[in-house]
Amino acid sequence: MSFASSQHARQFSLCHARVCHLNPSMIRRLLRLLCVGFCLLAFAYNSPAPLIYKPGEGWTYEKPGETGTWQKTRAKDQLEVAQLAFDAANYDLALKAAKRTVNNWPFSDYAPKAQYLAARCLEEKNQDQQAFKEYQKLIEKYPKIAEANEVLKRQYEIANRFLGGKWFKLWGYIPMPPSKDKTADMYEQVVKNGPYSDVGPQAQLNIGEVRERQKDYPAAVKAYERAADRYADKPQVASDALYKAGMAYQKEARTAEYDQTVASKAIATFSDFATLHPDDPRVKETGARIDSLRTEQARGSYDIAQFYEKKKKWDGALIYYNEVLLKDPSSGYADAARIRIDLIKKRNTPANPAE
């Protein structure tokens, strides 16, 4: 017997010995595994595959018996599948077909329409965050599309829904409370995409509204003033922006104890509004607001004067009591300031020795 034959014989003996050492339960388990493996191999081509992965498309679900029926070999045909599915309100199929058109034929004449359909499907499926992003891709990849103005309007309406209190979704699934920062970012994107579009001016104003709701009044003023400057040729937008900037300043002034510069800016803004838009029905109202702000300034100066008086810094107290008279001479603070001025002056006047 050759050496190789003896080696094979020894290996066979070892394997036979190992099998013999298996207990009956282990043998049965082994046989079952062999049977399962045989069945999987025998019936592999008859089993449906609902989950299919394709490069550039990701995982897609196909119902048994319908594998590949929606996939076409030409961009035009693939877009037609997407459009027909969308018209039939089959948004899942329409989304798959539209994405496949964009992924397989990104430079074809049918890709922009397909990208638009993909965003529309997500919007119909109430997935507004993803829809906004898909619309953004459409604008960035195909800026000359015929539907550009409509896309901006749809992005604007999505942002409006979140401004109205709609919840965001983390990773597209986990509900998250409304986010003012994300909402402002959406409006910023709309303005960036089309500053002079039909929705650009109002989107800029809405940025200010979002910041006001956050009580971030300096950011709100900045947004409103930008709208007033950029859309000065649109009287309605410019007047709204200037008026709202004054309102934001006034709200900020109420939170600033000793910072009278904010109230001064509010007064200046309302004054500009009245000068530039004299026919606006809100001009009369702003007059009352200016009076209120001047009273607020007088209050601030009066508080500062009292601070100096308590510290017995009489000169400083006199300066700020006099400021009260300058800022709002007809207010109650002015009456109180006059009394304090007289008392301080009498206190500082030396008695006459001759008397």
Q: How confident is the model at residue 52 (pLDDT cuts 50, 70, 90)?
A: low
What percent of the chain is predicted at pLDDT more than 90? 65
Q: Do 118 and 141 meet the contact criterion of CB atoms below 8 Å apart?
A: no
- Residues 59 and 100: their CA atoms lie apart, in Å, by 12
Domain coordinates in residue numbering, the chain: 301-349
Q: How confident is the model at residue 49 (pLDDT cuts 50, 70, 90)?
A: very low
- Residues 172 and 128: their CA atoms lie apart, in Å, by 9
- Residues 54 and 47: their CA atoms lie apart, in Å, by 19
Residue 44 DSSP code: G
In tens, the pLDDT along 313-345 reads 999 999 999 999 998 898 899 999 999 999 999
Least confident range from 84-88, 161-165, 228-232, 252-256: namely 252-256
Q: How confident is the model at residue 62 (pLDDT cuts 50, 70, 90)?
A: low
Q: How confident is the model at residue 53 (pLDDT cuts 50, 70, 90)?
A: low
Least confident range from 105-119, 122-136, 179-193, 336-350: namely 336-350
In tens, the pLDDT along 247-276 reads 999 999 888 665 678 999 999 999 999 999
pLDDT at 46: 43
pLDDT at 39: 53
Name the nearest CA neighbour of 48 among 65, 61, 68: 65
- Residues 324 and 305: their CA atoms lie apart, in Å, by 9
The amino acid that residue 221 corresponds to is V
The model carries a pTM of 0.73
User: In sequence order, which residues have a C-beta less than 8 Å from that of residue 287 and are 6 or more positions away?
Assistant: 274
